[in-house]
Amino acid sequence: MDKFRAMQVFVNATDAGSFAAAGAALELSPQMVARYIEHLEEQLQVRLLNRTTRRQQLTEFGRAYYERCVRVLADVEAADALALETHAQPMGALKISAPQNFGAQSLMPVINQFLAQHPLVEIDLDLTDRYVDLISEGIEAAFRIGEPGIADSTSLVVRPLRPYQLLVCAAPAYLQAHGTPVQPSDLASHSCLGYVFADRVINKEWVFTRQGKSYPVQVGSRLRVNSADAQLKAAIAGFGIVMAALDLLAPALASGQLVRVLPNYEGPSKPMSLIYPADRQRTAKLRSFIDESIAAFGR
């Protein structure tokens, strides 16, 4: 006999108070209920129920075993419910992490659309440039710009996305006053707006490519800030040359507040990836979010 089924019968017989009542609920004969109980007792080599023609009563061991069986059956039911949820409509809270600038400029439109399509989903979005620990912080998916930084971890899945491309722009007034760079080395004599990362590192080397050749240049900054929006405002005001993502720069470029610098060179790019725990059950909400993120930012 199946032990799991026998445990179900034992719990039902205890709850119902009689083999006849348990049999009616389980569509079994009272004799079959008795056989399941006897099978358990034979396996355990201990009596679970003291039975008479009028009543049944749990033994001391039977009471402890009953409580354990109730927990086991509840765990199995919960596991089955989770499996069903993976095929159901996306719902529940989803905890996401992303770098500040990418999250605010590029990811938010995707999240807005995702929430509109899935009204039962809630998103907690943590925008930070630090490398978060997905497992200990309970984060279900994290976007990362630069190297994934997870070594050979088998507990995380890394999905490569398209590279994070940066452009170099300046206000027409700045270029009129200081001249327009025609090659990357010209930037060394210009004021370039510096971005301060979470670890307080400032990227002082900008690397451009053209026809497969790299052109690195050391740049100087009168203004250093940890906000891309602040950088953008400073660039529009004519305080220097900015290097930022197209999503951030696009409105200012379209309006003429900024113009692209060094258009014949390809600006720096960094690898970008989506990371999520390998052992997390693919709930509908997470699976849908991964699919839509890959569609939006995949290669």
> Domains of the chain (ranges plus CATH)?
3-84 (1.10.10.10), 92-163+271-297 (3.40.190.10), 164-269 (3.40.190.290)
| pLDDT exceeds 60 at position 281 | no
Distance from chain centroid for Cα 121: 14
Q: What is the pLDDT of residue 216?
A: 92
Q: Assign 125 a pLDDT band (cuts: 50, 70, 90).
A: very high
For position 152, what pLDDT does the model report? 62
Q: What is the pLDDT of residue 153?
A: 67
Model confidence, pTM:
0.63
CB atoms within 10 A of CB 271: 14
Q: Which of 295, 234, 285 has the alpha carbon at shortest distance from 118?
A: 285
Average pLDDT in the 191-217 region? 83
Over 70: is that where the pLDDT of 63 sits?
Answer: yes
- Please name every residue paired with 167 in a beta bridge, in sequence order, or none if there are none: 244
